[in-house]
Amino acid sequence: MQCQEYLDLKVVQLVFERTVEKSLLRELFLDWIMLDSQDHTSLEDWLSGTIRGFEKDSALDFASLDGSGFYPALMEKNLRFQKQGRAALKWRHDRNGQNDRPGWEEFFFNKNVYNCEEDDSEE
């Protein structure tokens, strides 16, 4: 078994439909999607690579997030991330970003930190 680093399309849609603009839950989702964006060259590849169930050729999947505030929030986060780098992230131990716990960034930015492989060896 391997880790699924995907956010489910219906969960993303639910979060953006049921939360207010700039809520911490939205920001957490946007931070996660933003961090994953560095591996993709287009919005379609980015979303299909980050959100499970999102098909890049499906107009229905694009439309399901339309009107939820997802796209404007993602574009705003992208601009802030391009200008401020990691300081644009909201999900921090210390909001000013100056006194985070040691190792916080290494943990948050390390996609291999979770070991989800089953151990087949018998103890």
CB 65 within 8 A of CB 13: yes
Alpha-carbon distance of 108 to 92, in angstroms, equals: 9
Prediction pTM value: 0.61
Q: Which residue has the higher pLDDT, 104 or 90?
A: 90
Helix axes 70-84, 9-18, angle to 10 degrees: 90
pLDDT, position 61: 62
Structure letter (DSSP) for residue 58: -
Q: Is the pLDDT of residue 20 over 80?
A: yes
Q: Is the pLDDT of residue 21 over 70?
A: yes
